[in-house]
Amino acid sequence: MVDIEELTDFVVEAKAKAYVGDGAKLPACRPGSYDVGYHRGLWRYLDSYFGGTDFAGQEAVWRDGEPLWAMNYFGRIIRADLLDARRAGAVIKAALQTMYREKRHFLGGMEYQHAFGCYIDSSRGATDHFSGRETIFVDGEEAYELDYRGGLIVP
C-alpha cells in the first residue's frame, strides 16, 4: 500500500531537484529523449521528454524498483511573437520553485507574476489521480500552454 503523503513529498522533492533545480542529465532512455532524474534511498524519479518549443514527456516514480506513479504532459508555445522557449522556461522554473518551496505541493492553485509573463496552473484531483493545465499569458494573451494528467499505477 502506498503512503500518499510520503509519495507526494517525494514527488515535490524530486521535481524541485530535477528539471526545476537543473538536476543531473541522464543518458537518453529512448532515442532522442532528454532525461533528468533524482533518487533518494528506495525512491527513484525520472522525467523523460522530447522536443523543445513544442514538447511531450512523462514523469515516473518507483519505490524499491516498483513503478508507483506517473504523469504525462504536452506543452507548446502558442504565440512565438510574445514568448520564446528560453523566456517560457524562466517563467516556469521560477513559478514552480515558488510552488514547491512555499506550498509544498505540485498540483495547481498557482498564479505567479514574472517579468516575462503571468503563469497560471490549475488542476483537479490529487496525487492519486489528477489532470491540469498550465498557461503563460503575456500582455493578456495566452502565449504558452501545457496539459498534464497522471496518478497512481495500480498493478
> What does the pLDDT look like over 14-69, one tens digit per residue?
999 998 888 889 999 999 999 999 999 999 999 999 998 999 999 999 999 999 99
Cα distance between residue 134 and residue 123, in whole Å: 9
DSSP-assigned beta bridge partners for residue 72:
58, 149
Q: What is the pTM of this model?
A: 0.92
Pairing of strands 110-114, 25-26: unpaired
Cα distance between residue 133 and residue 106, in whole Å: 12
Checking if the pLDDT of 8 tops 80, the result is yes
Cβ atoms 85, 53 nearer than 8 A: yes
Question: Angle at Cα 111 formed by Cα 110 and Cα 112, nearest 5°?
Answer: 120
Which pLDDT band holds residue 136 (cuts at 50, 70, 90)?
very high
> What does the pLDDT look like over 105-130, one tens digit per residue?
888 889 999 999 999 999 999 999 99
Cα distance between residue 74 and residue 133, in whole Å: 10
